[in-house]
Amino acid sequence: MTKEPTQLSMFDTVPGTQMFEYKLSVEQIQSELAKYGLTVNQGKVFIYLGKYGSKTAPEVCKALKLPRTETYHLLSSLQSKGIVFATFQHPIQFTALPIEKAVLVLVNSEKERIKSLERNEKQLTEMWGNIPSFDTDETDDEFKFQILHGENQIFSKITEMTDTYSKKFLISGSEKDFLKLYHGDFLEPFINSKKEFHMLSSCTEKTLYIFDDLDRKNIRLLGENAKERPCLIIKDGSELLFFTKNISANTAPVALWTNSPAMITSMDLLFESMWAGSKKIHL
């Protein structure tokens, strides 16, 4: 008896086939879904149900080559998130929401989670204050550093820095870096700002609109060879953030934050050197 050929899905194709092109798109979608809180396998199951239609748990398990127990756990978690539904028929079939509705559900869920955190902030602070501090050796004079992974952590730190600067703010970055900052509204604190700020960018003519609402004397352009330089941010000469893996890379960016005077002074000198060799933007 001849074996029935196994039908390859877009999750297990080989290079050189049309299905492999779909696989690359699937991986990109998985990466995007991760930003909405889905794990790699949750994203895989959701995409599979969305593109292959309603399936039973054993069918999902077999097609995606996942362990049986994990498959049921993944389907249950996706139901809890509200983006996968189960039917009452036997055997039970699982169906994914259309992508636009699923994203809306995930976004609304995240908004509610953040609102809940904001409501609990005062209560948490009060409970924290009720517990005495037992570490008497820690001093504020210690210099610190922090490794930040992914856009959420990095952009949260940038927001904190832009919201609290009081004297001088320096930013150096590529065109893609500044596009991210612009679309994330991180440049708004500098509109009509009376405080000192300088921005160095490798933006081209087509993206200079980014700086339309800013005082152009505070903006200068770097040469073509600066496109791959990491993004660099200095706040008030007391905090430094720079990217060790670029914000414009396909993989998740990584940044280092520190209040070390030695590192801040070195980067400040580098910034001033680049500023001296940069070009003014024509008005």
Q: Which of 5-14, 153-162, 197-206, 210-219 has the lowest mean pLDDT?
A: 5-14
Question: What's the pLDDT score for residue 142?
Answer: 73
CA distances from 255 to 84, 150, 221 (A): 35, 8, 23
For the chain, the three-class secondary structure string (H helix, E strand, C coil) is CCCCCCCCCCCCCCCCCHHHHHHHHHHHHHHHHHCCCCCHHHHHHHHHHHHHCCECHHHHHHHHCCCHHHHHHHHHHHHHHCCEEECCCCCCCEEECCHHHHHHHHHHHHHHHHHHHHHHHHHHHHHHHCCCCCCCCCCCCCCCEEEEEHHHHHHHHHHHHHHHCCCEEEEEECHHHHHHHHHCCCCHHHCCCCCEEEEEECCCHHHHHHHCCCCHHHEEECCHHHCCCCCEEEECCCEEEEEEECCCCCCCCEEEEECCHHHHHHHHHHHHHHHHCCEECCC
pLDDT of amino acid 2? 42
pLDDT band at 46 (very low <50, low <70, confident <90, very high): very high
Angle, to 10 degrees, between the axis of helix 40-52 and the axis of helix 99-129?
Answer: 160
- Using the predicted structure, report yes or no on whether residue 137 has a pLDDT greater than 70: no
> For residues 12 and 61, what is the distance between their CA atoms, to the nearest angstrom?
14
Question: Where do the domains of the chain lie, and which CATH numbers do they carry?
Answer: 18-100 (1.10.10.10), 145-280 (3.30.870.10)
Burial class of residue 43 in the structure, from the number of CB atoms within 10 Å of its CB (0-12 exposed, 13-18 middle, 19+ buried): buried
Q: What percent of the chain has pLDDT over 90?
A: 43
> How many Å apart are CA 15 and CA 18, to the nearest integer?
8
Between CA 196 and CA 215 the distance in angstroms is 11
Q: Give 216-231 pLDDT, tens digit per residue.
A: 889 999 876 656 678 8
Q: What is the mean pLDDT of residues 53-77?
A: 93
Mean pLDDT on 223-243? 83
Of the listed ranges 130-134, 137-141, 237-241, the least confidently predicted one is 137-141
pTM of the model: 0.59
Closest CA to 165 of 140, 141, 193: 193
Higher pLDDT, 199 or 24: 199
Q: 3-38 pLDDT, tens per residue?
A: 444 455 677 666 666 677 777 788 888 888 988 889
Calpha distance 212→203 (Å, rounded): 13
Statement: residue 192 has pLDDT above 50 = yes
- Cis omega (within 30 of 0) on the bond before 91? yes
Mean per-residue pLDDT for 60-87?
Answer: 93
Average pLDDT of the residues in 89-114: 91
